[in-house]
Amino acid sequence: MKKITAAALLAISLCTAQAYAGPAPHSEVAKANIYLTDFEKEVARAQGADMGRYHNRREALTRIRELARLYPDDPKVQDLVRRASIANLKSKGDFLEITPEMVAYKKNEEALRERFRKMNQDEWQKKLAESSPITTAFPSPDPLQVNIEDYIGKYVVLENVLYPNNQFIGMSGEYIHVGKPSSGYYFVDIDGRAWLGPYEAVKRYRRFVDASLGESISFTVLGKITGVVAESPEAGETKVAAAAWGWIVQPEYLYAGERVMARYDASHENSGTFYGEEEVEKIKDGWYTVKSVPDNVDPKRLMEIFATAIKEKNFELYCQCIHPDRQRSDTGKSLLRYHWDLHQERFQKEYVHAFFDEPEITVIKGFSGGDDLDDFFMSADQKSAVSKGSGEVEEMAIVMSRAFEESGKQRGAKNRHELRRKGNGRWYVNTYDVRF
């Protein structure tokens, strides 16, 4: 049997009577107010986000609606209706008009993506023509039935090369397996720079050109056959499947997402580049709306610049915003790039713009002497003595952010960002890993 709520019982009882001008029963107004107050608190805790489900919404609104039908002239009921209307609207989440300026970075990235797609597609076709690869990769030649020397040094094109999905460590090295027992195997050699150089170049393409490429990439590999080996292509130390013969392929070119081609280059500082990489910053420089951080920047403005650097793919400016202590070690620099990639993905898939509240600034170390209570209870000499003994002043600013989707709807609740500065120096973002 379906349970009847208290609000439903109230509605049934009240609807038996006609609406009249007298005051509503005090007890019913009080009960409705309790539920409405709890609903208002839920909405306030959401901080502009649409939480989807509110525990007190239906009970509060149902009670108030029935009271309004029967006692429309009661000032207390009218006040409940007013408050309930405001709370219900806020429960749907905050909305913002998204202007063309807020999403200009998306159009710029799209133009950059298409420019590099065409360049890299043309270069890929050129390399295929030059290398004259084996016409049909599968079924692969059976190493036990052909003259192996006839295939050593030949080029082959392997599609759907999945990394790290099909990566494994075998007895003779580290490989990505391509194929299956019924059609034969190729083992792409990823032990050295011939793989790592181009692979890192593809990651740079995603980081600085096209975040939509994503983390899960299916590569097409153009490589040279260098030998044969028997391996069990399984991840993990324990191998269950029987070993299978396969052709070892040394990769020379990686083609990702039909939009970027990366090549191995032993003379390059990164052992690999993607085609046109040297042109990226020259092209992007023209659309940067902010190029440096002012020395006198305030915390709120610094967060705006930080978000702009991410949207416009200005990695140098992104680093300028972040506290130097977070960038000193190799681990710190690696984390910096890791969270840059996450920020890029979020501005692609989750939200397009962020707004920031005014900062709350506190002294966390030293003595600033700016407190009105200190001014009242301490003399100038006392404050001077405390200041000298406390060391350099360090301040912390807390700035709350709200992110908005391309539809204009707020995405989630507010997020807390922490900034630091020492003495009268410049402000820096300390918690650079926090989402907007």
Q: Is 294 exposed, middle or buried (0-12, 13-18, 19+ CB in 10 A)?
A: exposed
Average pLDDT over residues 334-339: 96
pLDDT tens-place string over residues 164-185: 899 999 999 999 999 999 999 9
Q: What pLDDT score was predicted for residue 346?
A: 95
Q: What pLDDT score was predicted for residue 381?
A: 77
- In angstroms, the CA 319 to CA 338 distance is 13
pLDDT tens-place string over residues 99-118: 999 999 999 999 999 999 99
Which range is least confidently modeled, 181-190, 268-277, 388-397, 403-412? 388-397
pLDDT tier at 378 (50, 70, 90 boundaries)? confident
In the structure encoding, which two tokens stand for residue 294, read together? 């002012």
pTM value is: 0.78
Residue 276 clears pLDDT 70, i.e. is over it: yes
Residue 1 clears pLDDT 50, i.e. is over it: no
User: Which value, in Å, is the radius of gyration of the alpha carbons in the chain?
Assistant: 32
Q: Which residues have a Cβ under 8 Å from the Cβ of 374 and sit 6 or more positions away?
A: 383
Q: What pLDDT score was predicted for residue 13?
A: 52
Q: What pLDDT score was predicted for residue 5?
A: 60
pLDDT tier at 139 (50, 70, 90 boundaries)? very high
Residue 2 clears pLDDT 60, i.e. is over it: no
Intra-chain end-to-end CA distance of the chain, in Å: 46
Task: Report yes or no: 359 and 419 within 8 Å, Cβ to Cβ.
Answer: yes
Q: What pLDDT score was predicted for residue 16?
A: 47
* Count of other CB atoms within 10 angstroms of residue 372: 7
Closest CA to 160 of 61, 27, 254: 254
276 CB-side CA count, 13 A? 23
Q: Dihedral, CA atoms, 325, 326, 329, 331, nearest 10 degrees?
A: 160
DSSP one-letter string for 255-303: EETTTEEEEE-TTSTTSEEETTGGGHHHHHGGG-S-----TT--HHHHH
> Higher model confidence: residue 208 or residue 21?
208
Q: What pLDDT score was predicted for residue 356?
A: 98
Residue 8 clears pLDDT 90, i.e. is over it: no
Average pLDDT over residues 125-134: 95
Task: Report yes or no: 37 and 93 within 8 Å, Cβ to Cβ.
Answer: no
Share the mean pLDDT of the chain: 90
Residue the block writes with tokens 């420019």: 115
Closest CA to 363 of 421, 322, 413, 410: 421
Q: What pLDDT score was predicted for residue 21?
A: 59
H or E stretch at 59: helix 57-70
Residue the block writes with tokens 């049909």: 136
pLDDT tens-place string over residues 326-335: 999 999 999 9
Task: Report yes or no: 91 and 48 within 8 Å, Cβ to Cβ.
Answer: no
Q: What pLDDT score was predicted for residue 391?
A: 76
pLDDT tens-place string over residues 217-242: 899 999 999 999 999 998 776 767 78
DSSP 8-state code for residue 400: E
Q: What pLDDT score was predicted for residue 84?
A: 94
Q: What pLDDT score was predicted for residue 17?
A: 47
Q: Residue 433 phi/psi, 5° resolution? A: -85, -5
High-pLDDT (> 70) share of the chain, %: 94
Residue 158 clears pLDDT 50, i.e. is over it: yes
DSSP 8-state code for residue 229: E
Q: Which residues have a Cβ under 8 Å from the Cβ of 250 and sit 6 or more positions away?
A: 189, 194, 223, 224, 225, 226
Average pLDDT over residues 415-434: 96
